[in-house]
Structure 1
Amino acid sequence: MSDTPSKQRPQYRNIDVAQITKYHLPAAGKVSILHRISGALLFLSLPIILIPLFAASVASPESFASLGSGAGGFILKLILLVLLWGFMHHLCAGIRYLVLDLHIGIDKVSAQKSAAVVLGVSLALTLVFAVKMFGAI
């Protein structure tokens, strides 16, 4: 028998709703969850939003002009901006995952840096398109 006391092992228990708000998720975890959300957003928006918008835009020149003008113009731009963020984030995170599949940057520090880069680049690209879409440039 050993005289050294055994090290107390951590106990993992179910967490409740109040503890979920205090839980700190690392950047890589946030990128992973947002990658799934953006993929689902893009997939579900295809038959509901994108295909009807495309059909309306190619129906006639008048319907194309009506899509970008009037009261629906701002709301449409906002919806398209959310979809654009989904595409940009899904693209950047997908490239990150392809690089990780090549066993490049799989150590903890590099993975955290690449996750932060994905978040920054996808938001920066979305901001560039938002500025262009809402006419500031």
Structure 2
Amino acid sequence: MKKFGSAIWNGTIKGGSGIVSTESGVLDKAQYGFKQRFEGEPGTNPEELAGAAHAACFSMALSLQLEQAGMEAEEISTKATVAMDQVEGGFEIKSVHLDLTAKIPGADEAKFKEAAENAKAGCPISKLYKGADITLDAKLA
């Protein structure tokens, strides 16, 4: 399976701008730039997109883990906060924090926590972040 996203950048790092698109068309020439990435201006940026991808992947992986443990979630809500740090020679994503709240009727909390940890370790996007510290807060609603 192969999926793609694409980006076009024009100009300098601070004065330029870019557009990002996805194969599905969900993002179609969404604008991004230095101010969105580093100065908090509204708009998208690569770290936000990476966080959304991780949250989505983790949520699906958790659904599988829960099913294998005999549970079914009514809702899995995940927020992935991607932390980019300045390091010698540039920037680096050193950590991602997953905040999970799940609504699972009759859930066994220990099995839920185990499923969440398994999903964190097994999700393909988590594996992509090898070397980054991935933390998880998991709670039942």
| Structure with more strand by fraction | 2
Normalised by the shorter chain, which TM-score bucket?
Answer: 0.3 to 0.5
Ranked by relative contact order (alpha carbons within 8 Å, sequence separation 6 or more), the top structure is 1
| Higher Rg | 1
With structure 1 as the length reference, what TM-score do the two structures score?
A: 0.33
